[in-house]
Structure 1
C-alpha cells in the first residue's frame, strides 16, 4: 500500500508540472511578442529620425547658405574672395564651391612656387592678349589649343552679342574669331589699370596633348587633301629636318610629327615661339603666367567643373554654358591612345629634350613627365 501511494504521489507531481508548463507557455510567448514590439518601435523611430534629418537637409538646401573661404590663403586674390563670399547657394553647391576654391588655391600656389624656383617671378611683363567681358569684369587670356574657340563663344554670350547658343552656332569659325578680335580683344604689356579689378582667367592643358593637337590641326597632311593651315611652316620644317625630303610634287611635303619635334627641340630656332606660332608656344610666353596673378586657372582635364565654378562666380545667366567638344560625345577628339601613337617612334633623347623645352608648362601646372613610347 505504501508503495502504491508513493507511485500515486509521483504521478500527481508530474501532472502538476505539466499544468505549470502549460500555463507558462502563453507567458513566454507574450514576453517574446513584447520584445518584438519594442524592436519594431525602435526601428520605426530610427526611420522617422532619419527622415527628419533628410527633411532638415532639404530645408537647409532650399534656404541655402553663404560661402566662407580661407582668406589667409587667398590674400593675393581679394576679388575671388569677394565673389565667393557673395554667393548664396544650397548645401551641395556650397560644398562644390569650397572644393573648387581650394583647387584654385592649390593651383595658384603651385604656379607661384615654380615661377619663383625658376627665377621667372621677377621677369619683365610680356605683351598679353585679353578677351574681355566688361559687364562681368572677366579678362580671359587665351592660349591656342586649349579650347579657346569655345571660351570665345562664352565671352560673346556674356557680352550679349548673341542671345542663345543656337545663334552662336550659326557663326562660322573664322568670323567668330574676327568678331572677338575686333570687339573684345585688348593687347597690353602686363595688366592695364582699366582691368586691374577684373577676374583673370586662363586655361591650360597637358603639353603632350596640346602639341599633338597643334600638329594635327595646323601642320599635318589633311584628310580632305587640302593644304594644312600653316603649310608654309610645315613645308619648311620638312625641308630642313626630313631625312628623305624631295622636291618631287608627288611626294609628301608636310612635316611628320617627329620632324615637328625636331624643330621644337632645336635650340637654334629663334622663330619657333614667335607670335604667329602661339599654337605651340609655352604658356608663360603667351600669358605671362609668372607676372600676372590669375584668379581661375582651369585645366582641360577638369574643364567641366572648372567652367561651372567660374560661371558661378560670375553669376552668369543660365543659358551661358561652355559648349561641348568637337565630336558627337561632347569630348575632345584627342585621347590617350591617339596621343601615344604620335610619340611612339621618338627616341628617349628626343622625349627628354621635348620635356626640357616645355619644362615650365609641365611643372607650373602639375603635369608629369611621361614616356609615351611605351
Structure 2
C-alpha cells in the first residue's frame, strides 16, 4: 500500500511539473503573440527610417515609383539613385571644405535670415537670389496655400507675399525645424550669378527704380574718358564700372545688394545641415529629385520661371568678363572665395578671356 501511495505521489508530482511547464509555455506563447506584432512594427519602422532618412540623408523611396507615371515628370528609379549619389558627394564635399576652412567652428556666426521654413510640408529653403530664386519663390508661395491663379495675376513682389506666410526664423527656430524637415539650397557659379544680376538689375533696371538710381551713381563715380580710351556711351554702367563699384563697396565693408552678396554670407552653409544641394548647372534633374524625395509631386511641378530680362548665355557672359582686367577678376575671386571653395567651382576658364592689366585682351 505504501508503495502504491508513493507511486501515485510521484505521478502527481510529475503531472504538476508538466502542468507548470505547460503553463509557462502558454504564458510565453501568449506574451510572444502580444509582443511579436509590436516587435515587427519596431523593426519595420527602424528599417523604413534607415532606408528613408539615415542621419537625414535621403535615399530612394519605393512608393514614389509605384504610384508615379511618366507624365508626372518624375525621375526613373535608376536616375533617382544616380542623382541621390550626386547629392551625397556634394554633402560630403561641403562638409570637408567647411572643416578645412574652419567655417564650422563655434566662432563662426550662423545666419537664418534668408531661410523659409514650411512646417506643413516639412521643407526648408535658403533663398539665394539669382539662383532659380524666382521659380522656387513661386513654389514656396504655392506651398503656403496661395493659389496659382492668384500668384499669376498678383502685382505684389513674390518675396513680400512669401514673408507674409513665412516669418524670418531665428537660428534656434531653424535648427529645431530641421529635426523633422528636409533642408535644401540652390547654388550657381558665382561669376555667372553676378553676370545675371548685372543684366537683370543694372542693364534692365526700371526707370527711376532703386537699381536705376544706383546705376546713375556708379556712372557718375566711375566713368572716365581719356584721349586713348573714350568714355562708354551706355546710359547704364558698363560691366567693368559695375565691378569696380562692387569691389570698392566690399573693401569699405559696406553691405552689398542682396542680388550679389556672396551666398555663403546668406546661408552660412557650414552652420546648418543640408539634405539636398542643387546646382544651377544640373537644375532640371536636381529639382525633380528634390520634389520626389520631399513628396511634393502633387503640390508643385518642375518649372522654370525667370524674371530676368537680360540674356545670360555663355556668349554674353564671356563678352562681359572680357572687359575686365586680371586685378578685377582677382578681386572678384577674393570676394566670392567661399562660394567657390565650398561648392567646388573654379575660376580657371575666366582667366583666358580677361584683359591684361595693360588693357590688351588675352588669347
Tell me if both proteins adopt one fold, taking TM over 0.5 as the criterion: yes
- CA 1:206/1:137 → structure 2, altered by over 3 Å: closer, same or farther? same
Q: Find the counterpart in structure 2 of residue 234 from structure 1.
A: 215
Q: Gaps (5+ residues) in structure 1?
A: 1-67, 246-250
Instruction: Provide the secondary structure at the position in 2 that maps to 1:179.
Output: helix
> Does residue 143 of the first structure (1) align with residue 108 of the second (2)?
no
1:139 Cα offset (Å): 0.8
**Match 1:155 to one of 131, 134, 140:** 140
**Match 1:338 to one of 312, 316, 328:** 316
1:288 Cα offset (Å): 0.8
Q: Find the counterpart in structure 2 of residue 52 from structure 1.
A: none
Instruction: Provide the secondary structure at the position in 1 that maps to 2:259.
Output: coil
- Alpha-carbon contact 1:156-1:180 (below 8 Å) kept: yes
Cα displacement string for residues 294-337 of structure 1 (whole angstroms, at most 9, x for unaligned residues): 1111111111111101110121244511332439xx99941101
**Match 1:262 to one of 232, 239, 244:** 244
Instruction: Provide the secondary structure at the position in 1 that maps to 2:214.
Output: helix
- CA 1:239/1:210 → structure 2, altered by over 3 Å: closer, same or farther? same
- Alpha-carbon contact 1:326-1:332 (below 8 Å) kept: no
- 1:91-102 matches, within 5 Å, as 93-102=76-85
Tell me how far apart the structure 1 counterparts of residues 115 and 255 of structure 2 sit (CA, whole Å).
Answer: 22
Instruction: Provide the secondary structure at the position in 2 that maps to 1:89.
Output: helix
Figure out how many residues of one structure are paired with residues of the other and give that number. Answer: 288
- CA 1:175/1:353 → structure 2, altered by over 3 Å: closer, same or farther? closer
Q: Gaps (5+ residues) in structure 2?
A: 1-46, 69-74, 227-232, 355-362
**Match 1:302 to one of 282, 301, 315:** 282
- Alpha-carbon contact 1:234-1:254 (below 8 Å) kept: yes
Q: Find the counterpart in structure 1 of residue 360 from structure 2.
A: none
Q: Find the counterpart in structure 1 of residue 325 from structure 2.
A: 347
- 1:125-140 matches, within 5 Å, as 125-140=110-125
1:340 Cα offset (Å): 0.9
Instruction: Provide the secondary structure at the position in 2 that maps to 1:156.
Output: helix
Cα displacement string for residues 318-370 of structure 1 (whole angstroms, at most 9, x for unaligned residues): 4511332439xx99941101111111111122222212221211121122212
Larger radius of gyration: 1
1:214 Cα offset (Å): 1.1
- Alpha-carbon contact 2:204-2:309 (below 8 Å) kept: no
Please give the TM-score of this superposition, normalised by the length of structure 2: 0.70
Tell me how far apart the structure 2 counterparts of residues 131 and 365 of structure 1 sit (CA, whole Å).
Answer: 21
Tell me how far apart the structure 2 counterparts of residues 127 and 325 of structure 1 sit (CA, whole Å).
Answer: 25
Cα displacement string for residues 66-100 of structure 1 (whole angstroms, at most 9, x for unaligned residues): xx99x79x99x63343x744645269722122111
Tell me how far apart the structure 1 counterparts of residues 309 and 91 of structure 2 sit (CA, whole Å).
Answer: 26
Instruction: Provide the secondary structure at the position in 1 that maps to 2:253.
Output: coil
Instruction: Provide the secondary structure at the position in 2 that maps to 1:152.
Output: helix
The more displaced of 335-344 and 108-117 is: 108-117
Tell me how far apart the structure 2 counterparts of residues 88 and 150 of structure 1 sit (CA, whole Å).
Answer: 23
Tell me how far apart the structure 1 counterparts of residues 123 and 95 of structure 2 sit (CA, whole Å).
Answer: 21
Q: Find the counterpart in structure 2 of residue 64 from structure 1.
A: none
- 1:35-184 matches, within 5 Å, as 78-81=55-58, 84-85=60-61, 87-89=63-65, 93-122=76-105, 123-162=108-147, 164=148, 166-172=149-155, 174-184=156-166
- Alpha-carbon contact 1:206-1:362 (below 8 Å) kept: yes
Tell me how far apart the structure 2 counterparts of residues 295 and 170 of structure 1 sit (CA, whole Å).
Answer: 34
Tell me how far apart the structure 1 counterparts of residues 170 and 208 of structure 2 sit (CA, whole Å).
Answer: 34
Tell me how far apart the structure 2 counterparts of residues 147 and 107 of structure 1 sit (CA, whole Å).
Answer: 18
- CA 1:88/1:331 → structure 2, altered by over 3 Å: closer, same or farther? farther
Please give the TM-score of this superposition, normalised by the length of structure 1: 0.68
